[in-house]
Structure 1
Amino acid sequence: MSTLVVCLHRGDPLPGGDPPVVGREAVESLVTAVGVDDPEDSRVNCLLEGLRVAEDIDDATVAVIAGTGDAVTADRQVARQTEDLVAELDPDSAVVVVDSAEDERLVPIIESRITVDAVDRVVVRQARDIESTYYLLKQFLADEQLRKTVLVPLGAALLAFPILLFVSDSPTVALGAIAAAAGLSLLYKGLGIGTYIARMPGQIREAMYAGQVSLVTYVVAAGLALVGFFAGALSVSGIEAGEVGSVIVGMRFAYDAVPWLTMAALAASAGRLLDEFIRNDDIGTAYVNLPFVAIAVGLAVRGFSAYFLERSGIFPPAEIPAMEFGPLTFDGLLLSSGTHLALFILGSIFISLVGVRIAAYVSDNDVDIGIEERSS
């Protein structure tokens, strides 16, 4: 198994001849020429490392590939020299030796033309930490996306801190505001909100041109959700949190907001379900089951919130009024808070089971229709 040990360089021309330089004797002569020309040149260490690696590997040939000029010209020279070496020596694999992060960027060019088993990066021992840090910083500053992602928020935070400190006269407030802004920025990037917002105009335009029902139902769902939040906020506006506790305030908000939020979820899911039906696509079980899930969750949340409100005395116990059905008379029934909660839970479970059954039925019919269409 033959191995090609490649010393990569991009930059100034090599003294003593045109690349590629092939063979141990030729590389040793090049080491002498480069060392005499500039004893501090890091290429000396790279060439010596290439000779050492080739000596440790059986049936290995050491070669030096170099590119000069601008980035495109240098990369093309490296690619051409690699192809010439592969055609001449026909090696089974290669080991690449580099002495800088800039030269290491040439490795993909080698990998595209021959299998690379290893990449050996040479750093002078006395300056290993400094040089590594230097190349990392250089690579970081050369990446425009990283600069925008890290340096711009950092600079904005450093500028905002003295301004907030001057306005609020409190380091705690200034640090808190900067931390909140940093948290929102991280959530914005991490959740991909920017990408979603960028795609939203196109999706809305496509939905309008395609006549999708879901566009209208989404607007209706957003309106119902706003009504729900407003109804919940209005119901707790007259309650003092210090008297009943924040948990009870939250339960009262949920009790009045959940019906509207459930209707919002139903409107959104119904629109998507109608779109799938209009397009004559296979209606997925998730689309069919989603309205039932929304109702079941709404019932469960309203039941638990009613339980807490009844236990705290905000609501009176639930009561089934007296009714008459001809000769039959029902005197009414006072439900305890636990029984009331159990009815809500049983109702939510029943509705979710109905949704699962209907979704399975629709899915089975879609499969049967697809099989009939393929057989015909």
Structure 2
Amino acid sequence: MSTLVVCIDRDGPDTSGYPVVGRSDVESLITRTGVVDPEDSRVNCLLEGLSVAAELDDDGSEPVVAVVGGGSDSVGSDREIAAQIDALVAEYDPDSAVVVVDSAEDERLVPIVESRVDVDAVDRVVVRQARDIESTYYLLKQFLADEELRKTVLVPVGIVMLAFPILLVVTSLTLAVGAIAAAIGVFLIYKGLGIDTYLSRLPGQIREALYSGQVSLVTYVVAAGLSLVGIFAGVLGVSATGDISPFLLANRFAFGSVPWLTGAALVASLGRLLDELLKREGVRSAYVNLPFGAVAVGLVVRGFSAYFLERGGVFAPFRVTPTDLGVVQIQGFSLDPGTRLALFILAGILISLVGVRVATYVSHTDIEEELVE
């Protein structure tokens, strides 16, 4: 049983004599390599090849020790090594092989040997004192070769290292650490939620919407404007309110902003619904339900915020002024907070049911099926 002990030297300085076959020729190569650079790891790899061949010889096998190599770290070098393996297999016809490497880069060529002869073992030789250093170096090299990882890790780390001393100069250590931690948190959320992917696709989606004439593009812009108005109205309402609890301030903001935000959601959903109607004969019930759902949710949120504000003394109870319509006269009365909240909730439920009914009519499904969905 013959075994090919092959030492791989992918980026050897001189490839003119490869492959080197036989114990005496390999020993000569070790001497030449060691004299040129005694610290070269190739020396350890070649010595390990001789050691493995000696062990196989003691076990009764017929080892053939050989060294293959290329002139650089490139595809051409790998193909040259593959040709050398083919020549060795054709000449010695080994039953199996043992591959000896001295780095993770050389180990990547093991499949080339496996495709030509059965590989019984892979022996990776690393100098003991440099094992951790060599592995770390290879990982860093692979890391730096990945452009996406460099942008994701190195750029933020570099910005943090530049910003930290600047913040220390203009503010205290506590604020500097807090600002850096907040920035890192925002970045992690930005990457974790895939916001960067969405923003990268957004220009293409906008361009496609412009070219295809989608109505929703205009309605989305209108919705964004209404949302800004709603936020501004909520802030004005909070600023006009006195010193009250944070819970009531949040409800005051909601009370002022919800009508505008509801209008924004209504406009956006109607634009989406129109796009669906223009693109296809039928439309999914979800798009029909969406405008009614937006109005219903807005009414319920408005009712709850008004309830808490009235009970907290921020708003006076709602009062209907006396009205004379000639035939019909309405006497003035006031609604307590609970009754007003019940009316808002009832209105929201009725509007949502109307939406379900309209959706079933448009999509030609039974209302029972729509409620189950």
TM-score, normalised by the number of residues in structure 2: 0.72
User: Quick check: 2:14–2:71 contact (8 Å CA) kept in 1?
Assistant: no
Farther-moved stretch of structure 1 (249-258 vs 137-146):
137-146
Match of 1:209 in 2: 211
Deviation, 1:257, is: 0.5
Question: Quick one: distance in 1 between partners of 2:115 and 2:279?
Answer: 45
Match of 1:134 in 2: 137
Deviation, 1:51, is: 5.2
| Letter paired with 1:269 | S
Match of 1:271 in 2: 271
Match of 2:161 in 1: 158
Q: Does 1:180 align with 2:200?
A: no
User: Quick check: 1:220–1:264 contact (8 Å CA) kept in 2?
Assistant: yes
Equivalent residues in 2 for 1:1-376, closer than 5 Å: 8-12=8-12, 18-19=18-19, 32=27, 35-36=30-31, 37-38=33-34, 40-43=39-42, 48=48, 66-78=69-81, 98-106=101-109, 122-168=125-171, 170-240=172-242, 243-280=243-280, 283-318=283-318, 335-356=335-356, 358-359=358-359, 362-363=362-363
The C-alpha deviation readout for 1:238-294, integer Å capped at 9, x for no partner, is 223xx3111101101101111111111111111111112111265334323322332
User: Quick check: 1:34–1:43 contact (8 Å CA) kept in 2?
Assistant: no
Question: Quick one: distance in 1 between partners of 2:147 and 2:267?
Answer: 44
Farther-moved stretch of structure 1 (327-336 vs 283-292):
327-336
Match of 1:372 in 2: none
| Letter paired with 1:292 | F
Instruction: Give the direction of change, closer, same or farther, for the CA distance of 1:100–1:292 in structure 2 (3 Å limit).
Output: farther
The C-alpha deviation readout for 1:184-235, integer Å capped at 9, x for no partner, is 3333333343443343333323222221111110111011111111111111
User: Quick check: 2:10–2:73 contact (8 Å CA) kept in 1?
Assistant: no
Question: Quick one: distance in 1 between partners of 2:99 and 2:292?
Answer: 61
Instruction: Give the direction of change, closer, same or farther, for the CA distance of 1:74–1:16 in structure 2 (3 Å limit).
Output: closer
| Letter paired with 1:206 | E
* Alignment root-mean-square deviation, CA: 4.7
User: Quick check: 2:18–2:67 contact (8 Å CA) kept in 1?
Assistant: no
User: Quick check: 1:83–1:113 contact (8 Å CA) kept in 2?
Assistant: yes
User: Quick check: 1:15–1:34 contact (8 Å CA) kept in 2?
Assistant: no
**Overall identity of the aligned pairs, in %:** 64
The C-alpha deviation readout for 1:67-96, integer Å capped at 9, x for no partner, is 3335232244356667889999999x9997
Instruction: Give the direction of change, closer, same or farther, for the CA distance of 1:77–1:296 in structure 2 (3 Å limit).
Output: farther
User: Quick check: 1:16–1:33 contact (8 Å CA) kept in 2?
Assistant: no
Q: Count matched residues.
A: 352
User: Quick check: 2:26–2:66 contact (8 Å CA) kept in 1?
Assistant: no
Indicate the structure (1 or 2) with the bigger Cα radius of gyration: 2
Match of 2:371 in 1: none
Instruction: Give the direction of change, closer, same or farther, for the CA distance of 1:313–1:131 in structure 2 (3 Å limit).
Output: same
User: Quick check: 1:35–1:41 contact (8 Å CA) kept in 2?
Assistant: no
The C-alpha deviation readout for 1:22-52, integer Å capped at 9, x for no partner, is xxxx586776455443375445665748959
Match of 1:369 in 2: none
TM-score, normalised by the number of residues in structure 1: 0.71
